[in-house]
């Protein structure tokens, strides 16, 4: 008999396959590149963005299929009114993908300035490529899940919780997610992420909270393996959440050296309270229109400085703006 855990694990594995396929493709593209000047990287960035945007659509479709199965198991249906997977916006708020995918170029240049060989500099750039690909897909699925569950609220979906996947973490059990596993998030809320997060989400209804049972099983197993000392360390992990203008809600280990509990770097990116609420939730149609108009303007500026975006990229942006303008009335 297929369990909720099986469904969540299957979805996580398929998402991992999407990430790995994208990273392999991007590595092949970047490894063969030699000219890291502005002019020499225009096509590199354009091709990277096109591949990422295509994969994000597939990642959202994977989230749709997963949530449809889960909602059906809870006696609900996939809600009406959820936008097509190809009519969502790049998930990093206040950023166009071209700007983000120029970052590995800057990593390469900085490494060379610090005396690294071309081969070493490229390895550092490839590490950044992997980080960006993993985060982009995770943020896209997080946003998609929150939008679906927000639309399902009239059917009695009252919130959701994160489902930990300790077996999928390359560095072992994540104390941040273990602590956050007990938290319940409202529909439409973007749950806090951290770099390399492997969590999935499951909805909560008035009758059912399937994630509570799954997390309890995983936590009990982790604490048994960790032993008394390790279990105490994990359970005593202190976390801190903040909202950034790019990632939305972010999860970090509490920094004891600062009054805020955030590292100096995180303090720099944390939004003030009056903005944090807006950036920690799924965008409504009016805000989507504002974000899309801003993206269109920034893409035009990018093209004037660094080279044109692909025809499909610009066409999709216009179609997405048209869709959300219609939704906004």
pLDDT in tens, 121-149: 999 999 999 999 999 999 999 999 999 99
The reported pLDDT for the residue numbered 194 is 87
Half-sphere exposure of 99 (CA within 13 A, CB side): 15
pLDDT score at 198: 84
When pLDDT is averaged across residues 8-18 and rounded to a whole number, the result is: 94
Select the more confidently predicted residue: 171 or 99. 99
Instruction: Pick the more confident residue, 214 or 241.
Output: 241
Token pair for residue 315?
A: 């066409």
Q: Which of 155, 244, 142, 275 is nearest to 204 (CA)?
A: 155
Q: Quote the pLDDT of residue 122.
A: 97
Q: What is the DSSP string of 80-114?
A: TTPPPGGGSPPSSTT--HHHHTTHHHHHHHHHHHT
Mean pLDDT of the 26-35 span: 96
Tokens of 271: 């939004």
pLDDT for position 215: 64
Q: What is the pLDDT of residues 51-77, one digit of tens each?
A: 999 999 999 999 999 999 999 999 999
Q: What pLDDT is attached to residue 231?
A: 46
Of residues 197 and 158, more confidently modeled: 158
Average pLDDT over residues 281-309: 96
pLDDT at 218 over 90: no
Residues 115 and 80: beta-carbon distance below 8 Å: no
- CA-CA distance, 82 to 165, in Å (whole number)? 27
Residue 222: its pLDDT value, please? 47
Q: Which residues pair with 157 in a beta bridge?
A: 205
Instruction: Give residues with Cβ within 8 angstroms of 72, minimum separation 6.
Output: 78
Q: What is the mean pLDDT of the chain?
A: 90
Mean pLDDT of 7-25: 95
Domain that holds residue 276: 4-328
pLDDT of residue 171 exceeding 50, the answer is: no
Which residue has 């509570």 as its token pair?
Answer: 212
The reported pTM is 0.92
Which residues are CB-contacts of 84 (< 8 A; sequence separation ≥ 6)? 323
Residues 202 and 161 sit within 8 Å (Cβ to Cβ): yes
* The pLDDT value given to residue 230: 47
Count of domains observed in the chain: 1
Q: Which residues face 241 on adjacent strands?
A: 251
Give the model's pLDDT for residue 41.
97
């Amino acid at each position: 008999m297929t369990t909720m855990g099986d469904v969540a694990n299957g979805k996580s594995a398929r998402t991992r396959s999407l990430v790995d396929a994208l990273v392999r493709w991007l590595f092949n593209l970047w490894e063969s590149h030699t000219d890291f000047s502005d002019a020499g990287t225009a096509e590199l960035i354009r091709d990277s963005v096109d591949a990422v945007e295509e994969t994000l659509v597939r990642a959202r479709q994977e989230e749709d299929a997963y949530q449809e199965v889960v909602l059906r198991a809870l006696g609900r249906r996939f809600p009406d009114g959820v936008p097509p997977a190809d009519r969502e916006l790049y998930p990093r708020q206040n950023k166009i993908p071209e700007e983000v995918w120029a970052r590995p170029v800057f990593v390469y240049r900085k490494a060379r300035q610090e005396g690294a060989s071309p081969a070493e500099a490229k390895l550092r750039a490839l590490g950044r490529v992997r980080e960006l690909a993993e985060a982009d897909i995770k943020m896209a699925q997080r946003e998609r899940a929150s939008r679906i569950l927000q639309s399902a609220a009239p059917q009695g979906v009252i919130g959701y919780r994160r489902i930990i996947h300790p077996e999928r973490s390359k560095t072992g059990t994540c104390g941040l997610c273990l602590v956050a596993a007990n938290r319940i998030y409202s529909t439409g809320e973007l749950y806090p992420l951290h770099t390399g997060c492997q969590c999935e989400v499951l909805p909560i209804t008035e009758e059912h909270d399937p994630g509570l049972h799954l997390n309890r099983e995983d936590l009990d197993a982790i604490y048994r393996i960790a032993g008394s000392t390790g279990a105490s360390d994990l359970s005593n992990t202190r976390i801190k959440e903040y909202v950034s203008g790019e990632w939305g809600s972010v999860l970090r280990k509490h920094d004891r050296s600062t009054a805020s509990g955030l590292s100096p770097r995180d303090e720099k990116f944390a939004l003030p309270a009056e903005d944090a609420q807006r950036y920690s939730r799924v965008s409504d149609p009016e805000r989507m229109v504002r974000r899309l108009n801003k993206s269109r303007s920034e893409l035009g500026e990018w093209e004037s400085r660094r080279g044109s975006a692909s025809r499909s990229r610009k066409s999709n942006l216009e179609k997405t703006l048209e869709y959300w303008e219609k939704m906004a009335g």
